[in-house]
Amino acid sequence: MRRTARETEETARTLTRRTLMLGGAMTAMVAILGVRMRYLQVDQADQFKLLAEENRINIRLIPPERGLIQDRNGKIIAGNEQNYRVVITREAAGDAELVLRRLAGVIPMTPEELERAIEEVNALRAFVPVTVAERLSWEDFSKVALNAPALPGIVPEVGLSRRYPLDRDFAHVVGYVGPVSDKDLEGLAEPDPLLRIPKFQIGKIGVEKWMEDTLRGKAGTKRIEVNSAGRVMRELERQEGDPGTDIRLTIDADVQNFAQARLGEESAAAVVMDVTTGDLVCIASSPSFDPNLFVRGISHTDYNALMENDHRPLANKTVSGAYPPGSTFKMVTALAALEAGVATPDTRVRCPGFIEFGGRRFHCWKRGGHGTVSLERSLSESCDVYYYDIAQKVGIDKIAEMGRRLGLGQRFDIPMSAITEGIMPNKQWKLERHKADWRIGDTINASIGQGYVLSSPLQLAVMTARLASGRAVSPRLVRMVNDQELPVPEAPPLDIPADHLAAVRQGMYEVVNGDTGTAKSSRIVDPTLIMAGKTGTSQVRNISAAEREAGVISNEDLPWNRRDHALFVGYAPYDAPRYAIAVVVEHGGGGSTAAAPIARDILLRALSDGLPPLEAYPSSQRGRIESMLNELPLRDPVTGMTPVRTRA
Domains and CATH numbers, the chain: 82-160 (3.90.1310.10)
In this predicted structure, what is the pLDDT of residue 11?
A: 67
Residues 6+ apart with CB under 8 A from 346: 374, 375
**What is the residue-averaged pLDDT of the chain?**
87
CA 185 to chain centre: 20
Q: Tell me which long-range contacts 487-496 makes (C-beta under 8 A, separation of at least 24).
A: 488/277, 488/278, 491/278, 494/405, 494/406, 494/466, 494/470, 495/405, 496/335, 496/339, 496/405, 496/470
Q: How much is the pLDDT for 102? A: 87
Grade residue 147 by pLDDT with cuts at 50, 70 and 90.
confident
- Asked if pLDDT for residue 443 goes beyond 90, the answer is yes
pLDDT recorded at residue 343? 95
Q: Which residues have a Cβ under 8 Å from the Cβ of 253 and sit 6 or more positions away?
A: 71, 73, 75, 77, 166, 169, 170
Q: Determine the pLDDT at residue 94.
A: 81
Greatest mean pLDDT range, 188-202, 492-506, 538-552: 492-506
Band (pLDDT 50/70/90 cuts) for residue 614 is: very high
Strand partners, 406: none
Q: How far apart (Å, rounded) are the C-alpha atoms in residues 383 and 416?
A: 36
pLDDT digits (tens, 9 = 90+) for 509-528: 999 999 999 999 999 999 99
Return the higher-pLDDT residue of 446 and 194: 446
Select the more confidently predicted residue: 621 or 7. 621
pLDDT of 229: 47
pLDDT score of 584: 97
Asked if the model's pLDDT at residue 273 lies above 60, the reply is yes
The model's confidence at residue 42, banded by pLDDT at 50, 70 and 90, is low
Q: How far apart are CA 265 and CA 301, in angstroms?
A: 20
| pLDDT average, residue stretch 291-299 | 86
> Which of 111-120, 231-240, 584-593 bottoms out in mean pLDDT, i.e. has the lowest?
231-240
Q: What is the pLDDT of residue 476?
A: 97
Beta strand spans in 348-485 (E): 349-351, 354-357, 360-363, 371-373, 478-481, 484-485
Separation CA 409–CA 445 (nearest Å): 17
- pLDDT computed for residue 645 by the predictor: 46
Residue 433's pLDDT is 95
Specify the pLDDT at position 642: 45
**Paired residues of 472 in beta bridges:** none
Of residues 94 and 491, the one with the higher pLDDT is: 491
Three-point CA angle 543, 547, 552, nearest 5°: 75
Evaluate if residue 368 carries a pLDDT over 50: yes
> Angle, to 10 degrees, between the axis of helix 330-340 and the axis of helix 498-513?
150
Helical (H) or strand (E) element with 104: helix 96-104
Confidence at 643, pLDDT banded by 50, 70, 90: low
Report which of 259, 277, 243, 316 is spatially closest to residue 479, judged by C-alpha positions: 277
Cα–Cα dist 528/389, whole Å: 37
**Helix axis angle, 253-263 relative to 596-607, nearest 10°?**
160
User: Which of 490-522 are b and which e, b meaning 16 or more Cβ less than 10 Å from the residue's Cβ?
Assistant: ebeebebeeebbebbbbbbbbbbbbeebbbbeb
Whether 611 has a pLDDT exceeding 80, the answer reads yes
Residue 232, pLDDT score = 56
Q: Is the pLDDT reported for residue 392 higher than 80?
A: yes
pLDDT at residue 640 tops 80: no
Q: Which one-letter DSSP state was computed for residue 408?
A: T
The neighbouring-strand residues paired with 476 are 279
Reported as a pLDDT band with limits 50, 70 and 90, residue 426 is very high
pLDDT at 245 over 80: yes
Each residue's pLDDT tens digit, 11-33: 667 667 777 777 777 787 877 87
The answer to which of 182-191, 259-268, 430-439, 550-559 has the lowest mean pLDDT is 550-559
Burial of 241 (0-12, 13-18, 19+ CB in 10 A): middle
96 pLDDT band, cuts 50/70/90, is: confident
- Closest Cα partner for 509 from 497, 521, 519, 494? 519
Q: Whole-angstrom Cα distance, residue 579 to residue 276?
A: 8
Residue 95 pLDDT class (50, 70, 90 cuts): confident
> In the prediction, which pLDDT does 561 show?
77
DSSP per-residue letters across 270-299: EEEEETTT-BEEEEEEES---THHHHH---
Considering only residues 582 and 130, tell me which one the structure prediction assigns the higher pLDDT. 582
DSSP for residue 319: T
Task: Please give the DSSP secondary-structure letter assigned to residue 492.
Answer: P
Least confident of 152-161, 302-311, 564-573, 606-615: 152-161
